[in-house]
Structure 1
């Protein structure tokens, strides 16, 4: 069985790599626009495919299904509420970013505030990506693949290994080997390709991921009914686990319904509107209309997310809840158990593509932040375009190696997805707050931006790590996502106070750079309204 898995894995991986090379072999990558933004030539299908795959890595496939294993359908909030954030990106943030020719979020912070605010933002992003995002992508990918492909049997590593006087369990050895294999593959893609190369690869794997994800749901529900069909399996699941199929999160779950209007909404807004790793795809749009269509198509596809990112986790609970398996391991076991061997190899290849997509996006964004934010402005202000790109490629190698070394240390988390969302809040909320206030209040001065960033990070870090504070929040009935909402309100209020006491002498104005055609898509508002209506309908349909 493992032989067929391995053969189909190699076949699809080779096909995706060759097709990507063929499509992008003549792309220009020597300039910063060519390397970081695809020469601002991305059209809406490529933008949507790339956005979807950048988001759908194993921290989503493995982590969100693991969260569903624990809490049921209510965790679909991370997918469904994302649609609302994408609508906001379409109508509010994207037109402003493209108008100013923005390449990175810290670049916007410099234009709106000053160089010091930009440097703080750059530092925050670089630390978060290098020590949090990239290691989690590698770790969750390695965990998912190890069970999905039965790497213990495939590699023959089933005995402890002695290294430097230490006895290392076989699971740990496989984890390290898988992390470094994925990391090196991602480094090669990112090192020698620009944003368009990554975007095309994302789109190819995106099709495979959607097909594979839906196929798993089909086989999983069929297994629930013991061959009686998908509808019968769904009906049996609803009868057996009715409390786990409600869209309304309870107070004891990871996403209580009330948090959709505070921390969950804010985390989604940052992620889809101001997260460099994500929005870099939209900043490479050939026009505002193409960018808007790409973002809204992504929103439409996200509505399908609960089907393949949540339902398998609920099925896994139904099948394995009494076996003692961990939540983050359940998805890989489900895939291995229900898919035929050739399809398992195909889906594993798609999963590797998803891992590489998110890992590459993180590397590409990190290199852009370093080279355009630090190298070009501080280290070598007179550097040529070629030197800027070269510095980015060198920095990519350093960050990738660091992520590979950190990733295995994440083993042992109760829920990798819960850990990711919690840690993300430390920098998501302050940056989003400062960007929003900067766009909405043109009188707020530069010092307010610096105060907002530093104050937000300090408050959230103290809230997370100060002994006894989490106990205090629980005793007061304040969920950690509500706490993030409170910090957001404090930052916004503080910045407005600073703006009232010491306003800018002249209102800030976004200067148009005319990089792309700024004519909006004529159907953007109607499509956005339809998507919002669908979000409400989905919640109502599963509320009871």
Structure 2
């Protein structure tokens, strides 16, 4: 349980975010373009921070610390590999999205293939936003708030999500991006506090590694391992399948890019996010590893966990931080929850309004579009709450989340990737690949056991590529002009900004930095 001062800080933070979100949202006229895409005025810093905030939720703070405690730095691979898929987004996908003027990714898929592909992606995107981005975030947030405040899991989550829904549904994408930018700063600051506290209690890196040596656990320092549940080859084969779907083809994430002022801002924003993604290994995963060493030496009492490491982050907060700083950490946790939920709700509202309501009511007014989006966001929030008991059955939140993604992502990653780089990928082939690939994913999820989710994603992706190539030969067709790259060098012909802000320079620098980091922690 936490003290009154920390409760006051937490409540004040929620009130401040609500006030800022409403102020930003209400001071601008709410046409559909403004509401869903912030009037296409977003610049690269806001895009990068909002991408990070939408990605990093309470799930990450709680589950990455849990994974650090259970397995060491291994799951940090997810954070650092994201940099490479953000580079793909910036270099190869952003130009298509911006130049085609689409409001949603299903809209792009219709331009590249056909309406049936669009409909399928709409359905999958809404389901994934509800389950992956909202429900899992609620679950992680509820576990933390229940432990800290002693409040019923559902009560705490409902209150926080209602606050988030108010400014998101009223304010639209601009309110979401502004609040997410603030929440990113708070989240990072809070996470740094817990890292510093762990470092100080342990006595530094050397003391921690000495404990690992003494207990025969030095492999916990390695991110690329030769064997086990997630060997290095599974990371390099399986993660791109998950990452390309998540960062390049998921509406909840890419919507921040679609609201960019121009193509250059849309390209630099994801690269900026790629550099920020270096931090989670050190401020989310590493504290969990320190907690393992602290527990092994008796400096962290983990008996209250009862063998369930889900609550390790909460335990670190209450045992390692003084009053006042605990409130900052709670604010950081709330930032993760609110940022993820707000981004997903705005994405669902956009999908329903543009890809469903407007298509079947072409003459719909801006007011009608905004109203349809708001109703869809509210309904999604209610449905997400109903899923919490089912999702709580996973032993590890992080593994449960990625297990679901591994079975959803392969066909979508396939049709986007093949469609962008192969002129002959036909509409019928994409349609059949999405249908059959999704059915295979569901079947594998239900019936196949003991296959690591990374490798499952890779196997399903290979099958989908084979399917799409086969059906493109059987049912030939070609992409419309301007919706595929004639060569991998085509997207690099745009000169970009001069100096260090040039997207080519930033992408190259990010590749080098990530290569060095993986070498240091291999």
Give, in whole Å, the separation in 1 of the partners of 2:409 and 2:167: 27
Residue of structure 2 in register with 1:96 after alignment = 96
Q: CA deviation at 1:3?
A: 0.5
Further displaced range: 14-23 or 449-458: 14-23
Displacement after TM superposition at 1:243 (Å): 2.2
Distance 1:541 1:62 in 2: 25
1:135 aligned to 2:135? Answer: yes
1:271 lines up with 2:243 in the alignment: no
Q: Give the match for residue 167 of structure 1.
A: none
**2:475 aligns to what?**
502
Work out which of the residue numbers 349, 352, 359 in structure 1 matches 2:341.
359
- 2:371 and 2:25 mapped to 1: Cα distance? 20
Aligned length: 500
Distance in 2, matches of 1:189 and 1:249, equals 44
Superposed CA offset, 1:342-394 (max 9, x none): 1111221222122111011111111111111111113x232112101111101
Name the counterpart of 1:249.
225
After TM superposition, give the deviation of residue 461 of structure 1 in Å.
1.7
Deviations 1:18-58 (A, max 9, x none): 34445554223232x21111110001111111111111101
Q: Find out whether 1:119 has 2:119 as its counterpart.
A: yes
Matched residues in 2 for 1:308 and 1:492: separation? 37
In structure 2, the residue corresponding to 1:194 is in which secondary structure? helix
Does residue 347 in structure 1 map to residue 320 in structure 2? no
The residue aligned with 1:485 is: 458
Q: Cα offset for 1:238?
A: 5.3
Contact 1:54 1:361 in 2 (8 A): yes
Matching residue within 396, 402, 422 for 1:421: 402
Match of 1:398 in 2: 379
Please give the root-mean-square deviation of Cα atoms over the aligned residues, in Å.
2.1
The residue correspondences of 1:78-97 to structure 2 (distance < 5 A) are 78-97=78-97
Give the whole-Å Cα distance in 1 for the aligned partners of 2:171 and 2:412.
29
Unaligned runs of 5+ in 1: 156-173, 474-478, 513-517
Answer yes or no: is the 8 Å Cα contact 1:37–1:103 preserved in 2. Answer: yes
3-state DSSP of counterpart to 2:423: coil
1:138 to partner: Cα distance: 0.6
Whole-angstrom distance in 2 between the partners of 1:23 and 1:131:
28
Cα 1:137/1:372, change in 2 over 3 Å: same
Counterpart for residue 282 of structure 1? 257
SS at match of 1:27: coil
- The equivalences for 1:72-471 within 5 A come to 72-147=72-147, 150-152=148-150, 174-225=152-203, 230-231=204-205, 233-236=207-210, 239-240=213-214, 241-253=217-229, 255-320=230-295, 323=303, 324-378=306-360, 380-466=361-447, 469-471=448-450
The residue aligned with 2:488 is none
Return closer, same or farther for 1:418/1:444 CA change in 2, 3 Å cut-off. same
Task: Report the alpha carbon displacement of residue 197 of structure 1 after superposing the two structures with TM.
Answer: 0.6
Spell out, residue by residue over 1:221-278, the C-alpha distance to the aligned partner (whole angstroms, 9 max, x if none).
Answer: 21123xxxx456555555454221112235223x321112211121112111111111
The structure 2 residue matched to 1:534, chosen from 497, 513, 516, is 513
Given that residues 290 and 521 in structure 1 are in contact (C-alpha distance below 8 angstroms), is that contact kept between their aligned partners in structure 2?
A: no
The 8 Å contact of residues 208 and 293 in structure 2, kept in 1 or not, is answered as: no
Per-residue deviation at 1:315? 1.8
Q: Deviations over 1:155-211 (max 9, x none)?
A: 5xxxxxxxxxxxxxxxxxx11111211221222122111111110101111111111
CA distance in 2, matches of 1:82, 1:387: 37
Looking at structure 1, the residues matched to 291 and 368 of structure 2 have their Cα atoms a distance apart, in angstroms, of 50
What is the CA distance between 1:299 and its match in structure 2? 0.5
Show CA shifts across 1:470-502 (max 9, x none).
Answer: 25x5xxxxx432232122122122212222222
